[in-house]
Chain A
Amino acid sequence: MRTAGLLHKEILQIRRDPSSIALALVMPIILLLLFGYGVTFGARNIEVAVVLESRGQAARDLIGRLEGSTYFLPTRVATLSEASDMLTRQEVSAILHVRSDFDQRLSSTGEAEVQLLLDGVDANRARLISGYVAGLVSEFNGVMLRQEGAGRDPPVVQLHTRLWFNEELDSRRTLVPGLISMIMTLTGLLLTALVLVREKERGTMEALLVTPVRANEIMIAKLLPYFLLGFAGLGVTVALARLLFGVPMQGSVSTLLLLSALFMLASLGLGLLISSIAPGQMVASQISVVIGFLPAFFLSGLLFDIRAQPRWTQVISTIIPTTYFIDASKTLFLAGDVWSVLWKDAAVLAAMAVILLTIARLKLKKRLE
């Protein structure tokens, strides 16, 4: 009855201040739309300036391939200096330069060069573009080879790439799991980080402490509503992801719920811990951003693959709960219930939840001092 009473109070308070509901339910929608429509890792419609100085057939064929590709939006430009200007003004992301002696060299020496000038500021994008163009060029080479048909084809290794778990490399599919973990990190951490300090700052803690309420009951009443709020956020995100973007989920719903529950508990534990040690809401907010949100954003593998990172930042990643949830949910969404991957993540999350909640519980005293 006491716990139920406290719970009821927390829920009423959440209802009265719509900001927490906004965080749990509106934020996922905004982020999902942005992620889903806006944030893609694959480049499409890349603006390329084409400086075609050669009038030969081969050069035109090569450029034809570029123009036919869905990746590129080529613009013909007369001179290289004009194209350079465009690149500097960031109107195009690359210049493909075919010299006037291209056809001549190709037929005389059998080898000709095309030059690709890239805006290297975004190194990753530059590399992707370069890769796309390289692909076009090697296709072109392959066709020339076949056209020469006479004689024997030189032995060539042909690489056939298979992308497991995400055949079209649709970044939405990988980002939805990341998004879920972000939403749950935010609801778990930011809301609970303030929840105890606020009662201390407003003086309601004293009245609460003198009632027969036990510290455990306060903990449960503080955890459960935000736990449910986090799950509501999860529900909204998954449902929208399926409806709007058709993101499939290979794993089972029960596994998702289990993992989310463990992760949510770890996040709430961290939030409550911050809340029980912070002297005021100001510091609690700052701590939760600095040690909670930012590492989860940069180090958890949400944006940057952990395996690509240096060893020592990987070590830091291992103490962030979000890391394990992102890892597990990617597998869950794209590969299915692969327990060889999931059980490790689940075990670590469970251990973190237990440790963080225990410390938070120990810090929550029934006395004022």
Chain B
Amino acid sequence: MSAAVLEVRDVVKRFAPSDAPALEGVSITVSTGEIVGLIGPDGAGKTTLLRICAGLLGSDAGSVHALGIDVLAQPVIVQQQIGYMPQRFGLYEDLTVQENLDLYANLQAIPRRDRPARYQRLYRMTGLEPFADRLAGRLSGGMKQKLGLACALIKIPRLLLLDEPTVGVDPVSRRDLWAIVREMVKISGIGVFVSTAYLDEAERCDRVYVLNRGRLLDSGMPAHFHGMVANRVWEASAPAGRARELRLKAQQIDGVIDSSIDRGRVRIVTRDKRAPALPDSQLRSVTPRFEDAFMHLMHLHEGHNGLMVNHFSAAHGTSDDTVVEVRRLTKRFGKFIAVDGISFSVRRGEVFGLLGPNGAGKTTTFRMLCGLLPASGGTLRVAGRDLRHSPGHARARIGYMAQKFSLYGLLTVEENLRFFGKSYGLWGKALEQRIEEMLRRLDLADRRHEPADHLPGGYKQRLALAAALLHEPDVLFLDEPTSGVDPLARREFWSRITAEASSGVTVIVTTHFMEEAEYCDHLLILSRGRPLALGTPGEIRNMARDDQHPDPTIEDAFIKLAEEPQRKEVELA
């Protein structure tokens, strides 16, 4: 039988005596040769638990043993033997890939003669070798995460702690990262303790702990969770392009605790084994996933599950006026062509998704659309104007939510909203009304006086959305709006976005979460600055239909479309 490499017993952690504890009697075991997942919504205490395991934080009660050593008493000895990758991995962005590796090799005191072999192995696993001399700051998000993992693995640790390692990483890179971890487990028999916000990743773990508000809700193998919701998961087929509507309908049915869009169909979890009453659609029972069980657990313990978006405007539907029009858009940085002749148009009330692996030119395209970056060629019109050359009042018609949380951390929720409201010309009573409305609609009212820095990820993201929606923009730009946000919050977020779209707001969104692509009306998949595919989610899925994938997901399609050029990139470089 394999030995325990991490044993956490009844750990309690309080940051301030008056606050509710961040961790309340948590016990966890990780053995050699297994990957153990830690899953929970934002603010559940995942990062705190991992930091305690790494000896970065003390605990108020309980014991933590890693590799048989008391972490709380002898953190330095433990740190010499474990690998830890924090959420914001400490890559030095002004050092190159190789220099970062060298630094961590030095810090871990890897003998020089062992290094070439290690580097080679890590480069092989991460595919970073062609980029060894690139500054870490210039790597794409996925490559950064891989480099972070490589740095954490420079010394083969017996215990590897990973804090949300795949946040903001495209599916191809995500798959690579998991493959690296799997390989390490298989070859070296290490134990891995990983927290994640991607529920599908739970399926890849050997065992899973579900953490909520500092308490463990449940634990077990993925199958254990599947069993919880057996015969309670359904799929309703919808006519092409109507899935969003159907989902809105489904979530108002009593007894439905979760609904999402999957492959153009609506996936529904019910409270009991009775089928939901959805007329005009074919319903069939499907095999549960971890995600369904998670929603069930949240529903059980929290009484809500992100479906209660308490606002609905009258649906205007889409109209024919084109709001965004892009023709042969090109961006060059010196010799490097970041975006190469992209064309598309977006109509009012549409949700338009920009997808692509990290470094495909999504962000560059996005920044040009918002007027933050001048285009090198082509035409670009948003609401009939080129934002780059238009005066302020044209910019007033757009809302922008940056990839990285970019509101003022020192200011409170309310102060942030007030500032952005005023920036967009709202004033006085109208402003106060809008703020109240946004606080209510986005469930921020109870945290209105907290500084934005102190908010957990999901709240931050809602605040950013509130700030972007405050002035009722015509076009909403969302750059990776859900990265680093827990699954519950993501559901909620998409309910809001689809509601906004149906009230006539045009939404342009980039995302890494392929399941989220299902919520879009049209998708553009980019790779290396060139358009790979443009169409509805259904059309895109159809491109990947083959013998291996009779019923492909967007992710399947994406991987299939994106893999070819990426392989070439590695070969060329």
Contacts and interface: CB of A to CB of B under 8 A. Distances in A.
Q: Is there direct touching of A and B in the complex, by C-beta distance under 8 Å?
A: yes
Interface of A: 1-2, 4-6, 8-9, 12-13, 16-17, 199, 202-214, 366-369
Contact of B102 (A8, A17, A207, A214): A8
B94 interface: yes
Interface in B369-420: none
Contact of A212 (B58, B76, B92, B95): B76
B79 A368 contact: no
A8 B103 contact: yes
A238 B56 CA distance: 46
Contacts of A12: 94-95, 99
B349 interface: no
Nearest to B76: A212
The 6 closest A-B pairs by CB, nearest first: A5-B106, A207-B90, A204-B90, A203-B88, A212-B80, A211-B107
A214 B148 CA distance: 21
A296 B76 CA distance: 39
Given A6-B107, A17-B94, A368 B75 contact: no
Nearest to A282: B410
B54 A1 contact: no
B99 A210 contact: no
Given A210-B86, A212-B76, A2 B55 contact: no
Contact of A368 (B51, B95, B102, B105): B51
Nearest to B55: A210
B84 interface: yes
Given A2-B106, A5-B103, A204-B92, 18 more contacts: A5-B102, A8-B102, A8-B106, A9-B95, A12-B94, A13-B94, A16-B135, A199-B90, A203-B88, A207-B90, A207-B91, A210-B54, A210-B79, A210-B84, A211-B104, A366-B75, A367-B75, A369-B57
A146 to B, nearest CB: 75
B109 A206 contact: no
A5 B84 contact: no
Contacts of A202: 90, 93
Nearest to A207: B90
29 contacts: A1-B106, A1-B109, A2-B107, A5-B105, A5-B107, A6-B103, A6-B107, A8-B99, A12-B94, A16-B95, A199-B90, A202-B93, A204-B92, A205-B90, A206-B51, A206-B88, A206-B90, A207-B89, A207-B90, A207-B148, A207-B151, A208-B90, A210-B79, A210-B82, A212-B79, A212-B109, A213-B107, A366-B75, A369-B57
Interface of B: 51, 54-58, 75-76, 79-80, 82, 84-86, 88-95, 99, 102-109, 135, 148, 151
Contacts of A214: 76
Contacts of B93: 202
A209 B56 contact: yes
Given A5-B105, A13-B94, A211 B79 contact: yes
Nearest to B84: A210
Contacts of B75: 366-367
Contacts of A366: 75-76
B339 to A, nearest CB: 27
A105 B176 CA distance: 106
B411 to A, nearest CB: 14
Contacts of B108: 211-212
A369 B55 CA distance: 11
B57 A367 contact: yes
B106 A4 contact: yes
With a 10 A CB-CB cut-off, give which of B80, B85, B104, B107 has the most chain A CB atoms. B107
A9 B102 CA distance: 9
Contacts of A1: 106, 109
Contacts of B107: 2, 5-6, 208, 211-213
Nearest to B110: A1
With a 10 A CB-CB cut-off, give which of A13, A212, A214 has the most chain B CB atoms. A212
Contact of A9 (B80, B85, B103, B151): B103
With a 10 A CB-CB cut-off, give which of B80, B93, B106, B108 has the most chain A CB atoms. B106
Contact of A13 (B58, B79, B91, B95): B95
A202 B86 CA distance: 12
A4 B107 CA distance: 9
